[in-house]
Amino acid sequence: MLIGNKCDLSHRRAVSKEEGEQFAKENGLLFLEASARTAQNVEEAFIRTAAKILQNIQEGVFDVSNESFGIKVGYGRSQGQSGARDGAVAAKGGCCN
């Protein structure tokens, strides 16, 4: 997955969307423009990446029994009250507040 970040700042663009798309196509990558500040396409980037991983597993591209692929099959870890994994306290604020 190639992500063109800060798409909310188009006036400061260093690489065109077309250049990003072309590079991704030439290198067999998914491409998406996103903005952490506005949350545009942030969730979509994770969804598309997860969907592509699942597709590759189903097509036999990834062997889930081979740990070198870095894929573990099973249930995710539970979240604590704050929503943070393993009960850790979630940090207040964020990168774009």
| pLDDT digits 0-9 by tens, 31-53 | 999 998 999 999 999 999 999 98
Percent of the chain with pLDDT over 90: 43
* Whether residue 84 has pLDDT greater than 60: no
Q: Which domains does the chain have, with CATH numbers?
A: 2-69 (3.40.50.300)
Position 5 pLDDT exceeds 60 = yes
Residues 6+ apart with CB under 8 A from 24: 2, 30, 31
- Tell me which amino acid residue 78 is: S
| Averaged pLDDT score across all residues of the chain | 82
Put simply, whether the predicted model's pTM sits higher than 0.85 gets the answer: no
Half-sphere exposure of 9 (CA within 13 A, CB side): 10
Residue 32: closest CA among 51, 45, 15, 14: 45
Q: What is the pLDDT of residue 46?
A: 95
Across the range 8-16, mean pLDDT stands at 87
